[in-house]
Structure 1
Amino acid sequence: MPKNILIINDIPGAGKVAGNISFPILSAALFEVSILPTLILSKNADYDGGNVVRYSMEQGYEDMLDHWARKQLTFDIYTTGYFADVHQIHEFHKYYLDNHSQGDMRRLYVDPIMGDHGRLYPGFNEGIPQEISKLCQNTYLIMPNVTEACLMTGYEFSESMNEDQLVELAQLLIDQGAENVVLSGIENTEKFGPDQIGFFFYQKDGDCQTIMHRKYHSPFFGTGDIAMSLLIAYHENGLSLKDSLIESGKMLEKCLADTVALERSVQDGIYFEPILLDLALHMRDLQN
C-alpha cells in the first residue's frame, strides 16, 4: 500500500522552490502526495528583489484543515516548509494533534524556514521560532540551518561552529522534543576543505555524524527543499537516516552539476528533473 504524504509549504507559480520541488520529487518516490498551500506567489520570493505577486491563503488555509478534520482525512507522513505566519503553524499543529492519538502519531518532518546568516528573514517576527519550537514537540526530524536552530533555541549564533558547539545546539532541539536533528549547510574548511558542504546529523541517543557533499559556489535556491524531499523519499522507503542523507547528498550533487552545465542564471532554479526517473527506479527497487 503506498504511503500518502502532506506537504505544507508555499507554491510559486513559475518558481522552482518549495512545493514545486517537493511535489514532483515525492511523487517520483512513489508516494501519494497532497499539498496544503501556505502562500501562492508568481515566482519564488527571492526573484527580482522580492518584487513578486503574493496571494495570501488567509481563511482558505484554515478552511482546508477544518474540511479535512470534518472528513477525518489524515496522512501517513507530514512535511512542513514555509509558514506565512504564527497562526498557520498553530492551526496545523492543532489539526495534527486533534487527528492523531498518542499511539498513532504520524511522522512529521520540519524544515523551519525562517532565517539565515544570524537573523530572521524580512517579514518574520520572534513569534515564528517560538511557535516552531512548540511544533518540535511532535517532530520526528527537524532540518534547520544553524541560524534557524539558534533562533529556536536561543543559542549564540556563529558563522563557524566546531563539533562540540553543533552537538550542544542539536541537543537543545532534542530537548524541545525532536527525535532527530539534521543541521544543514554545515562547512568545516579545516577538516573537509573549501569545496564541501553538508549535514550534521544528531539523534537523541547522542549519536552524531557529519555527512558532506560537493559545494557549488553559487547561491542556489531550493537546495533545502530538494534535500528534505530526498531524505524523506529514501528513509520512508527503508534506508536508515544516515544512509538516506548520504544518498540525498549524491542526488543533490547531480542536480547542481546538471544546473551548472546549463550556464544559466541561478534565478531560473535548480534543474532537478533529470534525477526523477533514477529516483523512481531506486524507490521501486527498495520496495521490492
Structure 2
Amino acid sequence: GSFEQLDLVKEFFGLFRSKDNLILVDPVMADNGELYRIFQPEFAAGMRSLCKKADIIVPNLTEAALLLEESYHPGPYTRAYIEKILKKLSKLGPEKIVLTGVFFEEEELGAATYDKRNDSTDYLFTKRIPGSYHGTGDIFASALLSGLLNNFSLNESAQIAVNFTADSIRRTYNAKTDYRFGVNFEQCIPDFLKELKLI
C-alpha cells in the first residue's frame, strides 16, 4: 500500500530467495481502467520494480497497462493483443505471467497464461456471471499459488483458480448477498481441495 512497503517486500525477497521457493506477486493497484484512489500515479513504477523480482506475476489488464506504461483497453480482446501484453510483461523479469480479466466474447471471462521458458500461451475461461465482486483477485491468486505449490502445472493451476473463483462468485450471485462483503468462497473450499487432490 506504500513505497515503504514495496521496499520492505523487495528486501524480503532478496533475503529469502532460494532455488527451492517461488515468488509470486499480485500487483494489486487498479481495476476497470483506473488506479485505486489510495495510490498516486507514480506507484505503478514502484510496483514495476517489485514485479521484476518475481518468478510469476498475476496482474489484471488494468494493472498490466500501468506496469507497461500503456493505455488501458476495456475489451473484448484479440489473441494477438493478449499475447503481445503477456510477452511484454515477461520482459519485466518474471518467467511466468497469469493475466486476469481476459475475454474474447462478452459471455466469457477468464485468464491467460504465459511461460517464457517454452514460449507457450494458454487460455482458461468460464461463463461470465453478472455483477462486480470485491476480493476475487485475491481469491484467484491464492488458488493459483495453491495449485503451483501442490505440483500442478501453470495451466492446471490457473484452471483450478478460475474454477474456484467462478464457483465463489456464482454462490454469491445465487444467494443475492451484498457484493461489497466479498464472495462466498468458504463453501467452495471442499470442491477446491478435491481439485487439488488433497481430499
Q: Tell me the TM-score normalized by structure 2.
A: 0.90
What residue is the counterpart of 2:145 in the other structure?
Answer: 232
Structure with higher strand content: 1
What residue is the counterpart of 1:258 in the other structure?
Answer: 171
Unaligned runs of 5+ in 1: 1-83
Q: 1:119 is aligned with what amino acid?
A: E
Q: How far apart are the structure 2 equivalents of 1:199 and 1:131? A: 24
Q: How far apart are the structure 2 equivalents of 1:133 and 1:152? A: 6
What residue is the counterpart of 1:93 in the other structure?
Answer: 10
1:183 to 82, 92, 99: 99
Q: CA deviation at 1:210?
A: 1.4
Confirm or deny: 8 A CA contact 1:133 1:152 kept in the other structure.
Answer: yes
Q: 1:206 is aligned with what amino acid?
A: D
For the pair 1:168 / 2:84, whether they are aligned, the reply is yes
For the pair 1:132 / 2:44, whether they are aligned, the reply is no
Q: How far apart are the structure 1 equivalents of 2:20 and 2:45? A: 22
Alignment RMSD (CA, Å) = 1.9
Confirm or deny: 8 A CA contact 2:13 2:53 kept in the other structure.
Answer: no
Q: How far apart are the structure 2 equivalents of 1:86 and 1:108? A: 19
Query: For the pair shown, which has the larger CA radius of gyration, 1 or 2?
Result: 1
Q: How far apart are the structure 2 equivalents of 1:119 and 1:278? A: 34
Q: CA deviation at 1:228?
A: 0.8
**Structure 1 residues 185 and 202: CA distance shift in structure 2, 3 A:** same
Q: How far apart are the structure 2 equivalents of 1:196 and 1:203? A: 23
Confirm or deny: 8 A CA contact 1:170 1:202 kept in the other structure.
Answer: yes
Q: CA deviation at 1:186?
A: 1.0
Q: How far apart are the structure 2 equivalents of 1:195 and 1:241? A: 24
Confirm or deny: 8 A CA contact 2:169 2:183 kept in the other structure.
Answer: yes
Q: How far apart are the structure 2 equivalents of 1:92 and 1:130? A: 15
Unaligned runs of 5+ in 2: none
Q: 1:198 is aligned with what amino acid?
A: G
Q: CA deviation at 1:284?
A: 5.3
Aligned length: 197
Cα shift readout 1:220-265 (whole Å, capped 9, x = no counterpart): 1111111111111112101111011112222222212221221222
Q: 2:130 is aligned with what amino acid?
A: H
Confirm or deny: 8 A CA contact 2:110 2:124 kept in the other structure.
Answer: yes
Confirm or deny: 8 A CA contact 1:86 1:131 kept in the other structure.
Answer: yes
Q: Tell me the TM-score normalized by structure 1.
A: 0.64
Q: Relative contact order (alpha carbons < 8 A, sep ≥ 6): 1 or 2 greater?
A: 1
What residue is the counterpart of 1:271 in the other structure?
Answer: 184
Q: 1:164 is aligned with what amino acid?
A: A
Confirm or deny: 8 A CA contact 2:98 2:158 kept in the other structure.
Answer: no
What residue is the counterpart of 1:159 in the other structure?
Answer: 74
Cα shift readout 1:121-146 (whole Å, capped 9, x = no counterpart): 11212332111211122212111111
- Off by >6 Å, runs of 4+ in structure 1: none
Q: How far apart are the structure 1 equivalents of 2:81 and 2:175? A: 38
* Greater shift in the superposed pair: 277-286 or 103-112: 277-286
Q: 1:179 is aligned with what amino acid?
A: E
Q: Secondary structure at the match of 1:210?
A: strand
Q: Secondary structure at the match of 1:221?
A: coil
Confirm or deny: 8 A CA contact 1:86 1:127 kept in the other structure.
Answer: no
Q: How far apart are the structure 1 equivalents of 2:181 and 2:45? A: 33
Q: CA deviation at 1:112?
A: 0.7
Cα shift readout 1:36-65 (whole Å, capped 9, x = no counterpart): xxxxxxxxxxxxxxxxxxxxxxxxxxxxxx
